[in-house]
């Protein structure tokens, strides 16, 4: 009798446990966050996780529109000061109230994260925050600053109570991960899972899912297999080669939308000696040949964007001409795609004094962008055809950008999503000369042109939208002509789910539980 009662009790307990998470969403993601610390690194894969635990003063919608978040309204009250009204009645996950003190603390903390590979201080530097009352703050700058709203939309607001003295490890363990967001931290096991549960008291309404589990599955075939087997309910970054097949599968739903992400190549062109450029005998090559515009142009001409889009990306991409896609504020419609011209490339190399080429290493990721490894493999083959001997090294994204920021690469794959809907971040962080201690401090990319610097700096203080947009267009035109970077393509975002789930695509490619719903 006792044995039977024990079995019944076990069955009841199992049923209750299963029912407790009847609305569980399991998401298979290509790239894992590098940290739960919301101020560790300005990567989309990090930000998409922090948006579950934390809120931003201003939220960015699915189409890059700015929406009220922890701030309900904002306005410029004079040439150098913006006023933000904070949402009342918001509580942190521990029940304590959200106030202006938390915002002031957050602004200070973004610049105080030790060893952060890409800190969010790029959005807070040069800004002074003053508490007016518990639900009003003023943010001041030295001069007019029209992009205030787009800047403050980029980083999460954290709790002063739980953030004071907290380390990145404290966020990774969950000790400090006490946010105001729709989900509460449960568990983070690097390489395996991130688990969260609904915040029933969320100011925006109780989330649709009781429990969400993010599972990093880097390999595309493995993500598809996990979806088909029922191990996960939703996956991101569907490999282009599998999209058409999945569209024909009645047990799978495919969701697609345009991307705001250009994929491009960097060249280390403002140093006389670059670490992975050698002569044909394997000796360091001085001066660095990529300082010569003709060499940069030759490398660009050697690349067939059409082949990358049609063959490597299976048609699920668009040829890129600049740092942002068509339709975005600052897009320069006069710029044409670089024509594939290997013969012209060889002539330029000869004119620059390198008729027999040289040796260079191309670095890229193998777990970050759609078909990223295949893209750099194709580029290496194409550039090798004009006489430049290209070696290829690929890295996990977890260490890739940290290494790139030490200027250890001479030629490498990059991307920078247009998270603000306009190109200020791309111009500031990828094109402007790197100056320590300024908003142009944090992501050295190997290019410098004082004329472009002046135009970018003028745009950042130009209040008139039309005039500012023209300055953006001018800076982009010069940078493209000077081959400050080599644009390749814009990605097309693709998710897949089981048929019971609908996913609303985001142009910034984020995979959010908030965008998944039962259908």
Assess whether pLDDT exceeds 60 at residue 19. Answer: no
Whether residues 474 and 376 fall in one domain: yes
- Sequence-distant (6+) residues with CB within 8 A of 152 are 56, 57, 58, 71, 74, 84, 123, 139
Same domain, yes or no, for 203 and 301?
A: no
Looking at the domain assignment, is residue 229 inside a domain?
no
Torsion-angle region of 509 (φ positive above 0: left; ψ -120 to 50: alpha; else: beta):
left
Q: What is the mean pLDDT of residues 94-109?
A: 98
Tokens at 356, concatenated = 């027999």
Are 314 and 386 found together in one domain?
yes
CATH code (residue 176): 3.40.190.10
Is the pLDDT assigned to residue 449 strictly greater than 80?
yes
Q: Is residue 510 part of a domain?
A: no
Task: Return the number of other C-beta atoms located less than 10 Å from residue 193's C-beta.
Answer: 15
Residues 482 and 429 in one domain: yes
Tally of domains in the chain: 2
Residue 518 has φ and ψ, to the nearest 5°, of -75, 145
Write a three-state SS string for 62-93: CCCCEEECCEEEEEEEECCEEEEEECCCCECC
Beta bridge partners of 518: 501
On whether both 326 and 463 belong to a single domain, the answer is: yes
Within a domain: 16: no
203 and 285 housed in the same domain = no
**Is residue 503 a part of any domain in this protein?**
no
CB distance 156 to 55 below 8 Å: yes
In a domain, 254, yes or no: no
Question: What is the enclosing helix (H) or strand (E) of 452?
Answer: helix 450-459
pLDDT value at residue 22: 64
| Residue-by-residue DSSP string for 404-422 | HTTT--SEEEEE---TTSS
Whether residue 393 is contained in a domain is answered as yes
- Give the residue with greater pLDDT, 441 vs 106: 106
pLDDT tens column, 462-489: 999 999 999 999 999 999 999 999 999 9
Q: What local confidence, expressed as pLDDT, does residue 398 receive?
A: 85
Distance between CA atoms of residues 192 and 48, nearest Å: 17
Does residue 443 register a pLDDT over 80? no
CATH of the domain at 416: 3.10.105.10
206 and 264 inside one domain: no
Could you tell me if 482 and 411 lie in one domain? yes
Q: Are residues 478 and 363 in the same domain?
A: yes
In the predicted model, what is the mean pLDDT of residues 145-151?
A: 94
The pLDDT tens digits for 326-352 are 989 999 999 999 999 999 999 999 999
Contacts of 2 (CB under 8 A, 6+ apart): none
| DSSP 8-state symbol, 273 | S
pLDDT on residue 6: 38
Q: How many CA atoms, within 13 angstroms, populate the side-chain half-sphere of residue 69?
A: 23
Last residue of a domain, one of 196, 216, 236: 216
Question: Does 145 fall in a domain?
Answer: yes
Mean pLDDT within 56-73: 95
Low-confidence winner among 212-216, 275-279, 436-440 (lowest mean pLDDT): 436-440
Mark which of 158, 193, 216 sits at the end of a domain: 216
Q: Is residue 88 part of a domain?
A: yes
| pLDDT over threshold 50, residue 55 | yes
Structure tokens at 516: 């998944």
CA–CA distance, 458 with 321 (Å, rounded to integer): 23
Tell me the three-class secondary structure of 244-282, residue by residue: HHHHCCCCCEEEEEEEEEEEEEEECCCCCCCCCEECCCC
* Residues 6 or more apart whose Cβ sits within 8 Å of residue 6: none
Q: Is the pLDDT of residue 1 over 60?
A: no
Q: What angle do CA 298, 283, 357 make, to 5 degrees?
A: 20
In the 8-state DSSP scheme, what is residue 402? H
For residue 422 the two structure tokens come to 């306009």
Residue 179: give the domain boundaries.
24-216
């Amino acid at each position: 009798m006792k044995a039977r009662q024990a079995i019944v009790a076990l069955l009841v307990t199992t049923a209750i446990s299963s029912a407790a998470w009847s609305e569980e969403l399991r998401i298979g993601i290509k790239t894992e966050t590098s940290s739960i610390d919301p101020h560790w690194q300005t990567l989309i894969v990090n930000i998409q996780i922090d948006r579950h635990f934390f809120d931003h003063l201003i939220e960015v919608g699915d189409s890059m529109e700015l929406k009220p978040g922890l701030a309900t309204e904002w306005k410029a009250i004079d040439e150098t000061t913006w006023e933000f009204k904070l949402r009342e009645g918001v509580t942190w996950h521990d029940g304590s109230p959200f106030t202006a003190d938390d915002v002031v603390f957050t602004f200070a903390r973004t610049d105080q994260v030790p060893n952060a590979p890409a800190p969010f201080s790029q959005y807070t530097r040069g800004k002074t925050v003053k508490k007016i009352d518990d639900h009003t703050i003023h943010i001041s700058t030295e001069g007019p600053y029209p992009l205030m709203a787009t800047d403050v939309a980029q980083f999460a607001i954290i709790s002063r109570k739980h953030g004071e003295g907290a380390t990145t490890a404290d966020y990774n363990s969950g000790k400090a991960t006490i946010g105001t967001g729709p989900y509460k931290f449960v568990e983070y096991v690097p390489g395996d899972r991130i688990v969260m549960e609904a915040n029933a008291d969320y100011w925006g309404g109780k989330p649709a899912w009781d429990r969400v589990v993010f599972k990093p599955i880097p390999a595309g075939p493995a993500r598809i297999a996990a979806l088909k087997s029922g191990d996960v309910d939703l996956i991101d970054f569907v490999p282009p080669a599998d999209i058409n097949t999945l569209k024909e599968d009645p047990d799978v739903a495919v969701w697609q939308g345009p991307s705001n992400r250009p994929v491009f190549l960097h060249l280390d062109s403002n140093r006389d000696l670059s670490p992975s450029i050698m002569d044909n005998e394997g000796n360091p090559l001085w001066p660095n040949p990529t300082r010569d515009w003709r060499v940069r142009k030759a490398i660009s001409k050697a690349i067939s964007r059409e082949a990358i889009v049609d063959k490597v990306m299976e048609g699920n991409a668009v040829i890129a001409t600049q740092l942002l896609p068509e339709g975005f504020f600052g897009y320069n419609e006069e710029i044409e795609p670089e024509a594939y011209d290997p013969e012209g490339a060889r002539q330029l190399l000869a004119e620059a004094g390198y008729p027999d080429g040289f040796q260079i290493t191309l670095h890229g990721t193998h777990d970050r962008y759609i078909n990223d490894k295949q893209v750099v493999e194709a580029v290496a083959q194409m550039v090798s055809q004009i006489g430049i001997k290209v070696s290829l090294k690929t890295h996990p994204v977890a260490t890739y950008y940290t290494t790139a920021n030490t200027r250890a690469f001479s030629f490498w794959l990059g991307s920078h999503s247009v998270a603000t809907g306009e190109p200020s971040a791309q111009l500031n962080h990828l094109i402007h000369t790197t100056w320590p201690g300024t908003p142009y401090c944090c992501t050295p990319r190997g290019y410098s042109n004082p004329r472009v610097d002046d135009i970018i700096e003028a745009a950042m203080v130009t209040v008139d939208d039309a005039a500012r947009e023209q300055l953006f267009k001018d800076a982009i035109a010069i940078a493209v002509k000077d081959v400050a970077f080599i644009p390749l393509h814009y990605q097309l975002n693709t998710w897949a789910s089981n048929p019971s789930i609908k996913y609303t695509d985001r142009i910034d490619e984020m995979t959010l539980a908030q965008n998944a719903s039962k259908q």
